Chains A and B, each alone.
Chain A
Amino acid sequence: MRKAIIPFLAAIAAVTTAFSASAHDKVLTVYTYESFTSEWGPGAKVAEAFEKTCGCKISYVSVADGVELLTRLKLEGASSKADIVLGLDTNLVSEAKATGFFAPHGIDTSAVKVPGGFSDDTFVPYDYGHFAVIYDTQAMKKPPKSLKELVEGDANQKIVIEDPRTSTPGLGLLLWVKSVYGDQAGAAWAKLKDRVLTVTPGWSEAYGLFTKGEAPMVLSYTTSPAYHMVAESTDRYQAASFSEGHYIQIEVAGITKSAKDPALAKDFLTFVTGPEFQSIIPTTNWMMPVAATKEPLPEAFGKLVTPEKTFLMSSDEVAANRKAWIDEWLAAMSKN
């Protein structure tokens, strides 16, 4: 039965792709993560704006998140239809390059300004956010003012964090603590452990617990309060500004070697760093723009925490040490 179905489906697939390709002369296939293309995500607006100028059609393929994006590429290998991959973060850059699927972008990125000064010949940043502890002002009057205060503070004031083995924010906090504490990171985690209510597999579970009131703090982004202020008009949830500085997450896009029309792909990357795309990002992806926007950011963004110091480790350093640091984290967090 299955044997009969596979060639049948393959035939349908061939026919439909052939058909959709002929309907528009040029198609740009963009691989991205799911929240980019969801109803409120930037996907639709971005496609509309770019299609006006390029005489082409954007086709999105979306997977769960940035890490899954890389996995998907590895699974697809050379047969991938991706022209553009949008949604990896700086921690994945070194691994993504190692796959050999990406080509140098060759565009002018002088307009792009990200804290921490990331620049790369293969990947172009399109937005960024600093990791931050978000707290509930109704449950917590005195939020920690530094990572040190978070680590050493009252163990009854709990925080929900994400697991660095399975999630990007979890890995972000791991690198943050490492940047601040260095060799003492293990000891810091052992101390922070008492304050950690639980470690969730991903951001959604952690944020869900937080908004349900289970813990007064959660690890998220400095931009999270902007969502609550803009979409829910409440300033109940605020980011705690840490005096040591904040670790940054920079999201990047790149062109694949197998891109069908490299010139078109390049145009798209240039568009990504341009004012139109950058204006769409803040209130759809809830991240900070990396270049000038067409109109000023909504007022709420002005109220956000802007870290004085930004931590960013090179992705080679992260790739080389991730396993050892996760082991250190596991050892410290598993002690009784």
Chain B
Amino acid sequence: MINRIERRWTLAAGVLCLGGIVLFVCLAAAALLAFDEPGMPNGGAFFDAYVWRVARFTLLQASLSTVLSILFAIPVARALARQTAFPGRVWVIRLMALPLGLPALVAALGLIGIWGRQGALNTALAAIGLDQPVSIYGLSGILVAHVFFNMPLAARLMLSGLERIPGEYWLVGANLGMRPLSIFRFIEWPVIRGLLPGIAGLIFMLCATSFTLVLTLGGGPAASTIEVAIYQALRFDFDPPRAIVLSLLQIIVTAVLLVAIRFLTPKADEGHGGGRRVRRFDGRHGFGRGGDWLVIALAVLFLALPLGSVVSSGLRSDLFRLVSDPMVQRALATSLVIALVSGLFCVISTAVMIRARQAALARRRPSTAYRGLAAAISASSALVLLVPPVVLGAGWFLLLRPFGDITTFAPLLVILINMLMALPFVYRVLEPAMATHSARTARLAASLGLGGWHRLRLIDWPGLRKPVLMALSFACALSLGDLGAVALFGSQDMVTLPWLLYSRMASYRSTDAAGLALFLGLVCLVLTIAGTPSAANDDHRRQDDVA
């Protein structure tokens, strides 16, 4: 397939990236494990009843959140895939990338603006005569928040999958007069099913490591996740080894679950087509169309209302003063630089690793070493999300302290940690797209003798531009909203937007904080617009390509 030298380089680059990531995580963990200073508590048993209780709750809420997010995402993705002419469709898709970039606290306050005791829902219910407000605090609140964050993520990933289905399929389907149910069963479901293990795994991890949302909306300590215990171990208790053991527990529990999901779902095979223009013929009229519109409208309401609540409280702040505040400008610039750099690093290294994985599996009978490499790449890209940023931060703090002032390294560390946290997202976006792309173009490129730069420019970039932009915008939005990594090193020298937001909140300036949340939202919006080129642009480009 690819020629031998290039393949060797690809593999070497992949090994390098993978090694770097593994080393980065393991060194931090080792530093914390070896940490021994006076005044350290001698922790009792690691696995007391408390740990088991939080582990059980973590599993429960994360599983439920995952299942619900996916169940709701399927009809939304399908409706969006079918209704290519839905007015404002591209904006709906862009809207779906917004929650990713919001810090948990902002999202929680937005959700409460709708679902809370004084929120829109209860106001409406009170108007029709309900005297006691409906309370979402508890498991239901956690689920609403997690679905708010993850349903759109799942829907977008599924939608990309559905849009990769070759046009021939729809042509044949229409010729056979397939009914919607058959289309779903024979064309759409096999694609979605193939994506499910990856999507479910990603969402499960996000929910399992959720912290602020779980505590704030959980209603009490019965709703605590392992992440809370990890944080606790690194705060009042200051017991780093315990934090590491708890992180390992979190990783093992999730890894077992991920492996189980993977075994339960068969591998999807890539559809081959001639690259003709994709046109769907179903869901054009009547019930199909009406139903799709309803589904889209409900999803938009569910997402847009809490975001609208964030916007409306933001508008009440003194936006002009905030914009002209040099502190805010600096924070915005810092956040943008961190987000863009870590986003770029992340997309490049992930693409390299996926390519290496493909190269390793490209042989008819890959050797054990190659298979091992491929497995290691997909496992590490999946599990890295489970290493709490605070553990990485504290570990690297210890490692770097002999080299001088820690605040000097802070920007680099924050970028690397953000990059790692975005990796699983980017992997989920790029991997299926690159698999399909390679299945469709690898032979052609090889037969044309195209390789290296030329293939990248002529074949890979035009084919993968969309997923790459989407991955980049995801990664940037994630780092933008992240507080975790900055919190540990944060000093006056490196103030990011979420850090400033929390800081204003902590000094009673909640209206300022609301204004900053609006800024964050706007920046995310810009990112998602860049990450989701509109259909008109696409058609334009297609004509260019033809010409």
Contact = CB atoms under 8 A, between A and B. Distances in A.
A205 B412 contact: no
Interface residues of B, number: 67
Contacts of B228: 165-166, 201
A24 interface: no
Interface stretch (A123-131, A190-198, A270-278, A299-307): A190-198
A228 B404 CA distance: 43
Interface residues of A, number: 74
Interface in B28-67: 37-39, 50, 53
Contacts of A203: 506
A35 B506 contact: yes
Nearest to B117: A214
Interface in A47-68: 60-64, 67-68
Interface in B486-534: 487-488, 490-492, 502-510, 513
Interface stretch (A38-46, A111-119, A244-252, A259-267): A38-46
Interface in A21-37: 34-35, 37
A298 interface: no
A208 B109 contact: yes
A203 B411 CA distance: 27
B397 to A, nearest CB: 5
Interface in A85-105: 95, 98-100
Interface in A195-230: 196-201, 203-205, 207-209, 211-215, 224, 227-228
Interface string B391-434: 00010011011111111110010001000000000000000000
> By CB atoms of chain A within 10 A, which of B39, B406, B412 has the most?
B39
B215 A100 contact: no
A264 B235 CA distance: 31
Interface stretch (A3-11, A142-150, A180-188, A309-317): A3-11
Contacts of A224: 508
B37 A99 contact: yes
Given A10-B403, A198-B137, A207 B510 contact: yes
A333 B510 contact: no
Given A201-B212, A215-B117, A322 B236 contact: yes
Interface in B79-120: 105, 108-109, 112-113, 116-118
B222 A198 contact: no
Contact of A333 (B222, B406, B488): B222
A122 to B, nearest CB: 14
B234 interface: yes
A169 to B, nearest CB: 12
Given A12-B408, A204-B505, A212 B118 contact: yes
A10 B488 CA distance: 19
B275 interface: no
B293 interface: no
B117 A197 contact: yes
Nearest to B500: A38
Nearest to A206: B216
Contact of B220 (A34, A77, A79, A198): A198
A117 B192 CA distance: 67
A34 B220 CA distance: 27
Given A75-B398, A166-B228, A205-B108, A286 B220 contact: no
A205 B492 CA distance: 22
Given A9-B412, A158-B117, A204 B105 contact: yes
Contacts of B38: 98-100
Nearest to A227: B508
B401 A205 contact: no
Contacts of B507: 35, 38, 40-41
A209 B234 contact: no
Nearest to B486: A64
A336 B135 CA distance: 16
A329 B220 CA distance: 11
Nearest to B105: A205
A200 B221 contact: no
B220 A333 contact: yes
A294 interface: no
A205 B400 CA distance: 33
A207 B231 CA distance: 21
A63 B486 CA distance: 10
B302 interface: no
> By CB atoms of chain A within 10 A, which of B108, B211, B216 has the most?
B216
Contacts of A35: 503, 506-507
Nearest to A62: B491
B366 interface: no
Contacts of A334: 53, 220-222
A327 B51 CA distance: 12
A237 B237 CA distance: 34
29 contacts: A2-B416, A9-B412, A10-B403, A13-B403, A13-B409, A14-B404, A41-B507, A64-B490, A70-B238, A77-B401, A99-B38, A100-B39, A166-B231, A171-B236, A197-B137, A198-B218, A201-B211, A205-B216, A208-B109, A208-B505, A209-B112, A209-B216, A212-B116, A212-B118, A286-B508, A333-B221, A334-B221, A334-B222, A336-B222
Given A199-B221, A205-B105, A329-B221, 7 more contacts: A62-B490, A201-B211, A201-B212, A201-B228, A224-B508, A228-B508, A330-B221
